[in-house]
Amino acid sequence: MRIHVSNTITTLLRMTALVSFLVGPVGAYAYAQAGDKSPGLSGAGYVLYVSLQRNSQ
Which tens digit of pLDDT belongs to each residue from 42-57? Answer: 677 778 888 888 776 6
Quote the CA–CA distance of 28 and 34 in Å, as a whole number. Answer: 10
Q: Over the chain, what is the mean pLDDT?
A: 82
Quote the CA–CA distance of 27 and 17 in Å, as a whole number. Answer: 15
Quote the CA–CA distance of 25 and 10 in Å, as a whole number. Answer: 24
- Is residue 49 within 8 Å of residue 41, measured between CB atoms? yes
Q: Is 43 left (phi over 0), alpha (psi -120 to 50) or beta?
A: left
pLDDT at 43: 74
Which tens digit of pLDDT belongs to each residue from 10-31? Answer: 999 999 999 999 998 888 888 8
The predicted model gives 30-41 an average pLDDT of 68
Q: Report whether pLDDT(36) > 60.
A: no
